[in-house]
Amino acid sequence: MSLQTVMTVGALEDLRALLGDRLSTSQAVREHHGKDVTYHAGHPPDAVAFAESTEEVAEIVRVCAAYKVPIIPYGTGTSLEGHIAALHGGVCIDLGRMNRILEVNDQDLDCRVQAGVTRKQLNEHLRDTGLFFPIDPGADASLGGMTATRASGTNAVRYGTMRENVLGLTAVMSDGRVVRTGGRARKSSAGYDLTRLLVGSEGTLAVITEVQLKLQGIPEAISSAVCDFESLKGAVDTVILTIQSGIPVARIELLDEVQMDACNRYSDLDYPVRPTLFFEFHGSPGGVHEQSESVAAIAAELGGGDFRWATRQEDRSKLWQARHDAYWAAKALRPGAEGWATDVCVPISRLAECLLATKQDIRDSDVLAPIVGHVGDGNFHLVYLIDLNKPEEIAKAERLNERMVNRAIAMGGTCTGEHGIGYGKIAFLQAEQGEAVTVMRQIKRALDPDNIMNPGKVLRV
Amino acid sequence: MSLQTVMTVGALEDLRALLGDRLSTSQAVREHHGKDVTYHAGHPPDAVAFAESTEEVAEIVRVCAAYKVPIIPYGTGTSLEGHIAALHGGVCIDLGRMNRILEVNDQDLDCRVQAGVTRKQLNEHLRDTGLFFPIDPGADASLGGMTATRASGTNAVRYGTMRENVLGLTAVMSDGRVVRTGGRARKSSAGYDLTRLLVGSEGTLAVITEVQLKLQGIPEAISSAVCDFESLKGAVDTVILTIQSGIPVARIELLDEVQMDACNRYSDLDYPVRPTLFFEFHGSPGGVHEQSESVAAIAAELGGGDFRWATRQEDRSKLWQARHDAYWAAKALRPGAEGWATDVCVPISRLAECLLATKQDIRDSDVLAPIVGHVGDGNFHLVYLIDLNKPEEIAKAERLNERMVNRAIAMGGTCTGEHGIGYGKIAFLQAEQGEAVTVMRQIKRALDPDNIMNPGKVLRV
């Protein structure tokens, strides 16, 4: 047996004593926990530990630390850049059973949840409080996972991302220490911002077990609308002008004609197969009216059709569910194909140029790749629909992706607006952040000297 | 000569060769650079280096690193917890000459400045663009210093603090490496959030030399108002209800009757000497009207008098200048006394309880201590006006401060909402953050192994 195998066997024995049945080494469970929803190759962990408390996570980490066995935290497995693949084996800690909502402070618009609570579960729980939690990646992800990957979604243009909405957290460090960062105050200048350091650290610095979140009051008035455009450029320019005018839209989403076709088919809709914007406006009735009039005027100037309104809750839900299902709709366009989801984010002034050049690249290839985007932030997504048995298709998608990401970086943007680095974008992080990556590496070494925390992600140590 | 003296002499020789006249060892310059505006004892550095570029800062840091001589970054010297005191001697790097505005991207609502640019200088520069930078601590501080101390001010309730408004920065690490963090994209999930780690690190991890900032569009309509109250509780409850109702006030500031008296005298105003709220509303004309009506209705219910409006730019400027001069007005209440400014921040639901208990403590002592606060965030300030020649006065202020800070922490708040830790609040940081401080210390050791970056601040290593 290799040393690594010996160490792993030792760790699993100790964990079995600790967890009993809640340590699984079954192949099905391991494979399920090593593969996310996109094309990146899965790597099953050696075992999956189903933790039930912060203290239990700490004990698991202490065992793994003693044997120098890798640890991979797992929420719902819906990340997109191979974050949960056990590249070096080790123990996956499934936090799904830590799904208690610990407190809701309605007067302070905040709450505290265990890491395994999902965003939909939280909003269901909040239903009667008049409050909601706005961050909404497509999947019903866990709030711990969303924190670890600095998730955002359609509401980010108004409410920010997990960066702005996590007030503090509880985390288990690589030696099993439990730390609580941040607090409930809306602002603080007390010491280093460990909360923000751990938000987006993708399990490579600590295992997040609890999260304190900001909540928002449900707006008095909410109105959604759909508007199709003659050209992609008209749609994107509408977004740019809307943002530059300071209109506080709550959501402004772009779907190109390929994606609209996919959504119509998948979600049983009948929208024109043209570049389209989905809007949502939040505020007082007067404010919503004012915002929507302003945006409609901009759209009309730029080749937009009439606004199709959805004001009833059920119509709005159907609309946004269709948007959230965009990835699955895209996949259904080519049965049997794998979806490779990717994203970039650029300053809003460069959005049209970046999007149109990307669209042209796709046209010039024969890869099917619908475009959707949280365009109010300058963020957009592609799904390359490829046959993994055809290396030439993978190579083509890789070329397209590299061109798009490098273009975004050259425009002052980022290699990922919300999907994260995982193991899919490590080289692009280096290209984007340069020397700053050496500082990230110093922090990684300091907080995880044995490189057991989700090794092989974000950085190569 | 001690080893430290030998090393310092060596460093100063090398720096003299590098900087010529721009290295000063004059006593007046040294003393000026070692003392901030509040009561904390000053400690002059051994020399002051006037840097003119990031590369020059890097060279200075490399010299200091070679001799293991401390480095203290300096903006305008307006911090409040002894941040700039050269506790262990060393070289102060004055960044005031790095005062160029490098770019303004009006279409993207962002800009890039050198660290020595002050907030007023930036807003003056932006005057014709329709944009402004909202963060406004009382002093006309440098944007580098504001970044390093995670400053906020009166607009934070609507626009956030430096944490939310710094998109990226350039920093010189303790070995002279120059890194550029973040970027111009509005959001990113690319790697560790080094920007947020350095925001608020108070010069203990790096010297910040350039900052990329978010800008805001100047609202179509702005209106300010003043409203006095029968009781402090009525004023605070008005704040709480306003925030809980989700009314997007731009500013909501509390001044107790002692501070109002001080401001009337210092700024030649004639407001009633009663607990008072200063408001500002931003938005469309309709939105501003709607907000102010809502708040006026809340205030009327809680013992508030009529709103006195300031809609003309010059009246608004006078009002807010008086607010920004509150510290100097407080000091003028007791000529010859020193001002000890302190602040805490609590969840909004605890604000009344925290403020009223603090007020009672002050009444029970015979210390003069006006209260002002950015109360929309749950943040308030005290200035203890004490005679430094009377140890019993210092002791009384220390007791008051300890009670207030511990109360705030016990309520889920923070030992400082915006003043920072410096060397004045190190013990309170420990009390508030507990085990998390050990993680801060690991990061400090990793990024500054010789403890030369503003040693003795934030943490004891």
Closest partner residue to A192 (CB to CB) among B201, B379, B414 is B201
| Chain segment A252-299, per-residue pLDDT in tens | 999 999 999 999 999 999 999 999 999 999 999 999 999 999 999 999
Token pair listed for B232: 């402090």
Terminal Cα distance for chain A, rounded = 25
Give dist(CA B213, CA B142) in Å, integer. 13
Q: Where does the pLDDT of residue B39 fall: very low under 50, low under 70, confident under 90, or very high at 90 and above?
A: confident
pLDDT of residue B372: 95
Is pLDDT of A1 > 80?
A: no
Complex confidence, ipTM: 0.97
Q: To which residue do tokens 């450029």 refer? A: A233
CA-based end-to-end distance of chain B: 25
Which chain B positions have a beta carbon within 8 Å of A435's beta carbon?
A: 177-180
Q: Residue A39: what pLDDT?
A: 87
Structural contact between residues B164 and B47, judged by C-beta atoms closer than 8 angstroms: no
Sequence letter at residue B298: I
Phi, psi torsion values for B113, nearest 5 degrees: -130, 155
A181 touching B (Cβ < 8 Å): yes
Q: Please report the pLDDT score of residue B311 as a whole number.
A: 82
Predicted pLDDT of residue B20: 98
Give dist(CA A390, CA B50) in Å, integer: 61
Any residues with CB less than 8 A from the CB of A447 and at least 6 apart, and which? A173, A174, A205, A206, A453, B439, B442, B443
Give yes or no for residue B334 having a pLDDT over 80.
yes
* In contact, B95 and B148? CB cutoff 8 Å: no
Which residue blocks in A255-382 are alpha helix, DSSP H? 257-267, 285-301, 313-324, 326-333, 351-364
For chain A, give the percent of residues with pLDDT over 90. 95
How many CA atoms within 13 Å lie on the side-chain side of A119?
Answer: 23
DSSP letter, residue B118:
B
- The DSSP bridge partners found for residue B255 are B276, B372
Contact B416 A205 (CB under 8 A): no
What are the C-alpha distances in Å from A75 to residues A56, A78, A164, A179, A324?
16, 8, 21, 20, 19
Q: Does B459 touch chain A (CB under 8 A)?
A: yes
Non-local (6+) Cβ contacts of B175 within 8 A are: B61, B62, B65
Query: Residues A386-402: pLDDT tens digits?
Result: 999 999 999 999 999 99
The pLDDT assigned to A4 comes to: 86
The residue length of chain B stands at 461
Q: What's the rounded Cα separation, in Å, for the pair B92 and B259?
A: 35
Answer whether residue B80 shows pLDDT above 90: yes
A170 touches chain B (CB under 8 A): no
Mean pLDDT of chain A: 96
What per-residue confidence (pLDDT) applies to A357?
97
Three-state SS at A145:
helix
Q: What pLDDT is recorded for position A38?
A: 85
d(CA B227, CA B247): 17
Element (H, E) at B367: none
Q: What is the DSSP string of B393-454?
A: HHHHHHHHHHHHHHHHHHTT-BS-SSS--TTTSHHHHHHHHTTHHHHHHHHHHHH-TT--BS
Q: What is the pTM of this model?
A: 0.97
Cβ(A214)–Cβ(A158) below 8 Å:
no
Which residue, among A158, A189, A215, A421, would best test binding to B if mutated, counting the most B CBs under 10 Å from its CB? Answer: A189
B442 and A CB contact within 8 Å: yes
* B291 pLDDT more than 90: yes
Chain CA centroid to CA A197, Å: 17
**A199 inside 8 A of chain B by CB:** yes
Looking at residue B210, what is its pLDDT? 98
